[in-house]
Chains A and B, each alone.
Chain A
């Protein structure tokens, strides 16, 4: 009876102001990148690839930032081991999915499970590991908790790259992490299966009439489309989590755990659940992030990944789900991908000349008011400077916008609007600009309207 109205309600929620904000920012980002593509003279294909890569990164970051927001923004759990949980998800998935018989150069055997089950396994493994990490760390203060998580992440990464686990046999099953060499994904890619579905035949031929668009390109687009759907799922899940009695307890724990406990809430249980859910979501992101590559490169899960995610969270403002997505978008388009494109544009427009070999050679001429060497030096080292730039942005944000670029946002921790005594009244407020017949409809509205009067009379 209720499921459909329920879904319709959530759809309406999504389309409300928050979704509009996300859409506006993403539109701005796309338009900017299209302009960049035009300036750089990209072909249609190149343009699609650029936007596809951008969407891919934004979706991945948005998902993992949403998960981190559950930990830090909602529950106050200072998790700086995000990369570790992502690694657990991905490695577990790969080890479960790889065929039992290694073929050709595809090195180590796995358990040969179907990919969807392997993905589920990876997600569950990340949640379980989250449980194991959280259990002893629950009593710790936020800063010690942070140390535990980052230590865990490094231990995980080192274990996965350690040679004893390159290939091992347990309970008669042989599998391996590949050690420092990583793992090849020599299992059937479900995206290819999806691509072969009849419904995609038409669109693919259609698009190919205008631009050259091979199967790999099409699969890439399909995959990114899937990611956006999963992202919407993340958003809905975490929005509901936040707007519920469960989320209310999490927020209360963030504010004052002891007081929350004294108000009858088993705070440890809530913290564990929140942490495990976040870890599971991070594990899935780890899988989705690397899934379409040829295999796992062990270096992918170094700690800087975690810090990127944190920067995105801080940009968007911890505690806000909408902010998490916006932060991911702005971080990816502006800080992560932006500098490279900026560099390409500038180089395509003006000649910055041969960069000097050392920093001293670049700085020296500045005193003679010759800025050419420093400029070309900076351009040449844009990728390194990116880190400096991120640091500057972070410091600026902390000092000037501690609640994120959008400023303070309220996302009410309840399943119903709280500002007024009934839903109807708040809807009246929402629709104030609409014709009045919607307002004076049912008995409920008139009753609540009079209640409102009473309150304002006092």
Chain B
């Protein structure tokens, strides 16, 4: 503990230095990943401050999801390293990363279709002694497993209540709507009691009312001290809710900073406007007046962002 105090001071002093804060809970350094001929991630480097709500934005194909995959061990990076809580986690298996408290959700919800919502949420809880086959099977020991299951069921119900989806408890996950699946994924990730959550477009396909609620929940979890790194295409949402934003483009970190910094950054505007995201430059121009500032972007967002 004594060590972290000067570090924090250092961090505030150097908070300008992007991607290098000493109190970064997650740090990736010079990550590279090729898929066949495609370079998905091309030397990305950044840090995510402990307890922060950080946004990761960038055009389609910028490599955001791939970074998540590299960090969580779904893919192995070609080169570079990943650090989580001052421990190198490069190349660890996904379950090892998750058990260290770094949990992600997927861009396309990965609900366990033929399991109920309850089963989905019971699954990830840590330290379940019943995961040892013999304890679940042998008469004397099963008692304890049943006891643990009762407690876990209670925890799951609390989580369901937190997200106000108790009515779905007994539903098969495959019967859920797209937005409900997103909710399921987030609540399921929370069952691991993670230190940090990587959310890949958690609000895509979620209706505005639910989105607002979900955001409140995320804020609340953030206030509890959990760190969030959120990929999201809704600029308003990112600008209004994240204290720090990382912009990726063509597999690299283009820039990072506060929402104000990002809004003012010509390079960012350039990169987005020059990219096919969210729609082509010409289409956008045809809908709205020529782009000159970030404000125009925001004004246009309602009408031309998918």
Contact = CB atoms under 8 A, between A and B. Distances in A.
Contact of B133 (A246, A248, A259, A410): A246
A414 B122 contact: yes
A416 interface: yes
B104 A262 contact: yes
Contacts of B118: 414, 418-419
Interface in A389-443: 410, 412-416, 418-419, 421-423
B128 A6 contact: no
26 contacts: A6-B139, A240-B137, A241-B137, A244-B133, A245-B128, A245-B136, A246-B132, A246-B136, A248-B123, A255-B114, A258-B74, A258-B110, A262-B95, A262-B103, A262-B110, A264-B192, A267-B95, A412-B116, A413-B115, A414-B122, A414-B149, A415-B136, A415-B142, A415-B145, A416-B150, A422-B150
Contacts of A412: 116, 119
A265 B123 contact: yes
A249 interface: yes
Given A6-B143, A7-B139, A423-B150, A259 B131 contact: no
Interface in B101-151: 103-104, 106, 110, 112-116, 118-119, 122-124, 126, 128-133, 136-137, 139-140, 142-143, 145-146, 149-150
Contacts of B114: 251, 254-255, 319
Contacts of A340: none
Nearest to B93: A261
Contacts of B136: 240-241, 244-247, 415
A423 B149 CA distance: 11
B157 A421 contact: yes
Nearest to A248: B123
Interface residues of B, number: 48
A241 to B, nearest CB: 6
Contact of B124 (A6, A240, A263, A413): A263
Contacts of B188: 263
Contacts of B137: 237, 240-241, 244
A410 B132 CA distance: 23
A80 interface: no
Nearest to B164: A458
Nearest to B192: A264
Contacts of B45: none
Interface in B42-79: 72, 74
A280 to B, nearest CB: 12
A266 B116 contact: no
Interface in B241-297: none
A455 interface: yes
Contacts of A143: none
A410 B93 CA distance: 32
A422 B192 CA distance: 22
Nearest to A245: B130
Contact of A6 (B74, B142, B167, B192): B142
Contacts of B110: 256, 258-259, 262
A245 B119 contact: no
Interface in A240-289: 240-241, 244-249, 251-252, 254-256, 258-267, 270, 273, 277
A170 interface: no
B95 A264 contact: yes
B139 A256 contact: no
B215 interface: no
Interface string B167-210: 10110000000000000000011001000000000000000000
Contacts of B145: 244-245, 415
Interface string B26-50: 0000000000000000000000000
A262 B143 CA distance: 29
B124 A264 contact: yes
